[in-house]
């Protein structure tokens, strides 16, 4: 099952640059929450703080709290590796490991976590994860072929299979369809809709139609001006954000008056 995320007074900095200011939000379990907003308003930055991925950028840090089912991801005794196992990430560009086969790519997270697994358990896991990513039928006869030999849309679904193979609670997706053609985009959107039964999903997208199509909740982020920190304007049910937003800034953005 997916887990709920509570974000409290989150501020994110890249060195001296204050990138995101005082974010407070609840991301419900087993729903798709989309982050939208103009370029540079901090959508990806906030997403990355939800599994401490920003920490791999030298000088990046945050203050405030991110709670996964009430447990602070930033508590002193929390292991960031464990956080990233529970909260998986799918990136903008499909990034299968180039030297690995389809099968090895699916198992990569498990082997990187030093988990010993029998051949038959591995076979079952590969099939389960690829079925979960709606890719099994397309690749079941060529599991030992290189992952990078697949089409862009298939590679992205392979990365989703790799992410779910470690049994996360949450899946973060940073513009997962931006490099895909419309047919592959629809396949990934359908998949997102199915995956929410098992996971909590947070997706950053530039595409408002995509947010409207595949999310239950939408958070609109904005920025006052260049050099200013981004902030969350409002987060609500997707229908409310697109039809009756409470805030004029949101209304202006979704009606295409800026951004
Ligand atoms: N690694 C980094 N080092 C320094 N500044 C960064 C870094 N990553 C992002 N920023 C800055 O933080 C701010 C927020 O960036 P972020 O990428 O989170 O915005 P975004 O809303 O996701 O933008 P886009 O829609 O263009 O991807 C921007 O001013 C950006 O330049």
Which ipTM did the prediction report?
0.97
CA-nearest of 240, 252, 233, 234 to 215 is 240
**Which domains, ranges and CATH numbers included, belong to the chain?**
5-96+171-255 (3.40.50.300)
**Which residues are near ligand 1 (CB < 6 Å)?**
14, 17, 19, 37, 39-45, 57, 206, 230
pLDDT score, position 154: 93
pLDDT score, position 181: 85
pLDDT score, position 258: 66
Ligand 1 site-directed mutation target among 44, 173, 259, most atoms within 8 Å of CB: 44
pLDDT score, position 22: 98
Shortest-distance atom of ligand 1 to CA 230: 14
| 258's tokens | 């800026």
Query: How far does the centroid of ligand 1 lie from the alpha carbon of residue 152, in Å?
Result: 25
pLDDT score, position 180: 83
Query: How far does the centroid of ligand 1 lie from the alpha carbon of residue 66, in Å?
Result: 19
pLDDT score, position 114: 66
pLDDT score, position 259: 60
What is the maximum alpha-carbon separation in the chain?
A: 57
What are the residue ranges in the chain where pLDDT is below 70? 113-114, 257-259
pLDDT score, position 182: 87
Nearest CA to ligand 1 atom 2: 14
Query: How far does the centroid of ligand 1 lie from the alpha carbon of residue 45, in Å?
Result: 6
Ligand 1 site-directed mutation target among 43, 45, 210, most atoms within 8 Å of CB: 45
CA distances from 197 to 168, 171, 200 (A): 13, 12, 8
CA distances from 253 to 185, 233, 249, 256 (A): 23, 11, 6, 5
Shortest-distance atom of ligand 1 to CA 45: 18
């Amino acid at each position: 099952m997916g887990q709920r995320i509570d974000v409290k007074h989150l501020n994110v900095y890249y060195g001296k640059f204050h990138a995101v200011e005082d974010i407070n939000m609840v991301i419900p379990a087993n729903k798709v929450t989309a982050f939208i907003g103009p370029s540079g308003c901090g959508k990806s930055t906030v997403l990355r703080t939800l599994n401490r991925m920003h920490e791999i950028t030298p000088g990046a840090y945050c203050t405030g709290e991110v709670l996964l089912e009430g447990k602070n991801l930033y508590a002193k005794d929390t292991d960031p590796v464990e956080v990233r196992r529970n909260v998986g990430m799918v990136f903008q560009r499909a990034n299968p490991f180039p030297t690995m086969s389809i099968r090895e790519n699916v198992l990569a997270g498990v082997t990187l976590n030093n988990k010993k697994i029998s051949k038959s358990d591995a076979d079952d896991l590969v099939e389960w994860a690829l079925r979960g990513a709606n890719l099994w039928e397309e690749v079941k006869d060529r599991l030992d072929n290189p992952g990078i030999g697949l089409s862009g849309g298939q590679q992205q679904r392979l990365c989703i299979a790799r992410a779910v193979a470690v049994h996360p609670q949450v899946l973060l997706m940073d513009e997962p369809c931006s490099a895909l053609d419309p047919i592959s985009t629809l396949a990934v959107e359908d998949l997102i809709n199915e995956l929410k039964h098992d996971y909590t999903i947070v997706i950053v997208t530039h595409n408002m139609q995509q947010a409207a199509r595949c999310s239950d909740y939408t958070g609109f982020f904005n920025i006052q001006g260049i050099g200013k920190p981004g902030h969350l304007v409002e987060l609500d049910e997707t229908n409310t954000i697109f039809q009756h937003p409470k805030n004029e800034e949101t209304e202006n953005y979704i009606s295409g008056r800026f951004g």
